[in-house]
Amino acid sequence: MNKKRIFDIIQIGNKNDIPSRAFDIFISVVIILNILVTFLGTFDQLSFLKPVFDVTELVTIIIFCIEYLLRIWTADLLYPSKSRSRSVLRFIFSFDGIIDLLTILPFFFLSGMVMFRMLRVVRIFHLFRINAQYDSFNLIKEVLLERKRQLISSFFIIIILMLGSSLAMYSAEHDAQPEAFENAFSGIWWSVSTVLTVGYGDIYPITITGKILAILIAFLGVCVVAVPTGIISAGFFEKFRQQENSDRKFHDIREVGEIFCNKQCELTGLTIKEITDKYDIRVYMIIRGELPVVPVENIRTEENDILIVNSGKLVKNSKTGKKKR
């Protein structure tokens, strides 16, 4: 098995490629198994199974290490525009690379600092990386990336409100209950629980001024926290509308046009011959990155390709000299 094929299996996550899909399912099972033995290992009643848990964790960590090394080995194919060393560094410091590394590190430092033991939780996020290659989590990721500026702005407003409310509550309550509001920073816990509408009730105002401020801050918290929710909801609505507009049957294409091969597109991963035979579409050109690709029969489409196409019926009519508009 050559390097390109290994790259396709472990990196691309093509649902139409059986080995690639099987690899993703296998890694997901390994991750769940690793998390499960870590979870069950916290029960004293199951201490007699500790040797089994240790062996299972060792095997899963070995699999994680092999996967991580393979991803480093094929990093130059993931970033073809960069040199070998730069592509490796780019992967290591990418989100996926950091998650992969943090999945492995806790096993070697479990007896060390508490921080390294806490990193075991990061293994759960490995599941998000696997699922991000498919429709459900990929949609969430796209919405968050497209709306990141608005979300950052709304979170900034929430932070300002929490700091301001903490200072205001400190000024109103410090003299009445100095043990609860010892300084401005001590009011952060109350501010967070109030602004985020949790309201644990372990710290609360007792003065008239503090209670009035708490009412105003609680109302502001409801309004402000609803802002990022509305932004995300609008992003999902827009994405669903785009998908509805793009979900037209291929046989309805009656003129030259473009088809963008995203992860939801049925043409992604098919050969030109398969596209022609199955959908009666003639592909004139493939735009891959900034380069045009000649659509020979055995070439396979890739994600983010742009296909310049025409329906078979239009091609047939064009031979008779008739043009369809």
| Domain-wise residue ranges, the chain | 3-133, 148-246, 250-319
Q: Residue 161: pLDDT above 70?
A: yes
Report phi then psi at 240, rounded to 5.
Answer: -65, -40
| Angle between helices 208-246 and 135-146 in degrees, nearest 10 | 120
Q: What is the mean pLDDT of residues 46-73?
A: 89
**pLDDT for the residue 55:** 92
More confident residue, 218 or 244: 218
Beta bridge partner(s), residue 271:
300
- Do 148-246 and 3-133 have the same topology in CATH? no
Q: Residue 141: pLDDT above 80?
A: no
Q: What is the mean pLDDT of residues 170-181?
A: 85
Q: What is the mean pLDDT of residues 7-26?
A: 76
3-state secondary structure 196-242: CCCCCCCCCCCCHHHHHHHHHHHHHHHHHHHHHHHHHHHHHHHHHHH
What tokens appear for 158 in the block? 């929430």
Q: What is the mean pLDDT of residues 166-188?
A: 83
Q: Residue 245: pLDDT above 80?
A: no
**pLDDT for the residue 315:** 43
Longest Cα–Cα distance of the chain, Å, equals: 93
Q: Residue 51: pLDDT above 80?
A: yes
18 confidence band (pLDDT: 50, 70, 90):
confident
What pTM did the predictor assign? 0.50
Q: Tell me: the pLDDT tens digits for 87-110? A: 999 988 987 788 778 778 777 765
Q: What is the mean pLDDT of residues 286-302?
A: 83
| Angle between helices 95-108 and 84-92 in degrees, nearest 10 | 70
Average pLDDT over all residues of the chain: 77
CATH, domain 250-319, list 3.30.70.1140, 3.40.50.300, 3.30.70.1450, 3.90.950.10: 3.30.70.1450
Report phi then psi at 114, rounded to 5.
Answer: -60, -35
Instruction: Return the percentage of the chain with pLDDT > 70, whole number.
Output: 79
In terms of average pLDDT, the best of 59-68, 136-145, 187-196 is 59-68
- For the 148-246 domain, the top CATH level (class) is mainly alpha
Q: Tell me: the pLDDT tens digits for 203-216? A: 888 889 888 988 88
SS3 311: strand
**pLDDT for the residue 52:** 92
More confident residue, 247 or 225: 225
More confident residue, 159 or 198: 159
**pLDDT for the residue 120:** 55
> What CATH architecture is 3-133?
Up-down Bundle (1.20)
